[in-house]
Structure 1
Amino acid sequence: MQTDPVDHELIQAAAHVARTRCRGDNHTMAAAGRARDGRIVTAVNAYHFTGGPCAELVLIGAAASQGVYELDTIVAVGDRDRGVVPPCGRCRQVLLDYFPAVKVIVGGGDRVRSVSIVDLLPESYVWADHQLDAEQDTARREPAPSADHGNGA
């Protein structure tokens, strides 16, 4: 697993949001993502017993609402000074599907590191491949254009 330089500013941004915006049981995690243009986007989770979205998933929507459709790096930080928290399995899959080249900051203390989402989800199902297969199936099933060119013959 190859590691990349760690974006400590991104960790600090997520930690600040976790400290100042996560209150009670509804918001316990914060995420920060760095856009390709250098901007930092932040978000918090929306806990609910029905399976509310993790901070990383809320971040994807928050980023899009700000015109950010490509993220270089993402990190999640827990409230109550829990530090960096790795993404759950669902988030790993969604991050891979949305941003296949994204780096994810994981680990704690002096072991914090930045790794590729692919390294966090090896041998994964790639949703984009499914979409491509579906497009190819649709193209195969569509009828060939008529050779009569509309003259009723």
Structure 2
Amino acid sequence: MTTTTMLDTDRALVQAATAVAKLRCRSDNHSVAAAARTADGRVFTGVNLAHFTGGPCAELVALGAAATQGEAELETIVAVGDRGRGVLPPCGRCRQVLLDYHPGIQVIVGPIDALRKLPVTDLLPDSYVWADQRLDASAIVRTGQWPMPTVPASRAASED
């Protein structure tokens, strides 16, 4: 694992998420707050939307808030639980989304007295890379058909 030294700006990001958790996480609907920072120091926050359909986590809401303001490059993110639960690691879905949208992002994790900052890639080793799996949309438009995978030593169905 590649741990990066926690800076004062990282501690301030934890404090921002903690303040949002204290202010806005007062019901079962909102129990986690997140704060994300850009390289130039802008901070975007969000809270989770607990719902029986699996509503979005606080990290995803913070990503959406940043995107709404035109910010495409986030540097660091942290999530904090309500009722003093401290810093929470992102769930698997959030780890995957963070990797796909912000592959260089650092994630603050750990107990409050031993916080550390890790690249999201360390939290999701041997990950599925969404960009590598996307279809070539222009091929679909050109041919009107989904591209078929090439299988070595295969023969056309008409040969059966």
The equivalent position to 1:88 in structure 2, one of 86, 91, 95, is 91
Match of 1:123 among 123, 126, 149: 126
Separation in 2, partners of 1:66, 1:2: 30
- Cα distance in 1, alignment partners of residues 137 and 54 from structure 2: 34
Using structure 2 for the length normalisation, give the TM-score. Answer: 0.83
> 2: CA distance between counterparts of 1:40 and 1:137?
37
Give, in whole Å, the separation in 2 of the partners of 1:52 and 1:80.
20
1:35 aligns with 2:38: yes
Q: Percent identity?
A: 61
Poorly superposed stretches of 4+, deviation over 6 Å: none
Question: CA–CA distance in 2 between the matches of 1:86 and 1:55?
Answer: 11
Aligned residues: CA RMSD:
1.6
- 1:132-143 aligned at under 5 Å gives the runs 134-135=135-136, 138=139, 142=142
Between Structure 1 and Structure 2, how many residues are aligned? 140
Displacement of 1:67 after TM fit?
1.7
Unaligned runs of 5+ in 2: 144-160
Q: Which runs of 5+ in 1 are unaligned?
A: 144-153
Distance of 1:52 and 1:4 partners within structure 2: 31
Alpha-carbon separation, structure 1, partners of 2:115 and 2:123? 14
Once the two structures are superposed, residues 123-143 of structure 1 have per-residue CA deviations (whole angstroms, 9 ceiling, x without a partner) of: 000001112xx128828x946
- Aligned to 2:55, the other structure's residue is in SS state coil
Q: 1:5: Cα distance to partner?
A: 2.2
Relative to the length of structure 1, the TM-score reads: 0.86
